[in-house]
Copies of this chain bind each other. A is one copy, B any other.
């Protein structure tokens, strides 16, 4: 999908170890939870943190970079697109989820510099 039509960019921290699936085709899929944190002061001057959690899905080479480098707690940048899909949960209830399909991962805050997925 065109970067102009459907484009997401996130910078945040990986919430837990990414879940890697090896497809029969040999391709990898990575799925991770990313927190983006916003800070602001409320009317009493207290520092408030507002965290948003995002589900990131990545395929192929980008998934491999996640597996190797994007462990729990790591600060990463992600670009990709929004995709929604539905599935039936274990109770047979139809669920809808919206995920960010990553086409690029950037490792931030690493001593040895950035490591981008392209």
| Contact present for A11 and B114 (CB under 8 Å) | yes
| Contact present for A2 and B98 (CB under 8 Å) | no
Q: Which of A61-118 contact B (CB under 8 A)?
A: 75, 77-79, 81-84, 93, 95-98, 100, 103-104, 106, 108-110, 113-114, 116, 118
A residues lining the B interface (CB < 8 Å): 1-12, 36-39, 50, 52-54, 75, 77-79, 81-84, 93, 95-98, 100, 103-104, 106, 108-110, 113-114, 116, 118
* Additional 10 contacts, C-beta under 8 A, given A3-B3, A5-B10: A1-B52, A3-B9, A4-B78, A37-B114, A54-B82, A77-B77, A82-B100, A84-B98, A98-B98, A109-B109
| Contact present for A6 and B52 (CB under 8 Å) | yes
| Contact present for B3 and A109 (CB under 8 Å) | no
Which residue of chain B has the shortest Cβ distance to A1 in the bound complex? B38
| Contact present for A75 and B108 (CB under 8 Å) | yes
Question: Complex: how many Å from CA A81 to CA B79?
Answer: 13
Q: Hey, which chain B residues are within 8 Å of A103, CB to CB?
A: 3
10 A-B contacts (beta carbon < 8 Å): A2-B118, A4-B77, A4-B79, A5-B10, A5-B36, A5-B116, A52-B82, A93-B93, A96-B97, A108-B109
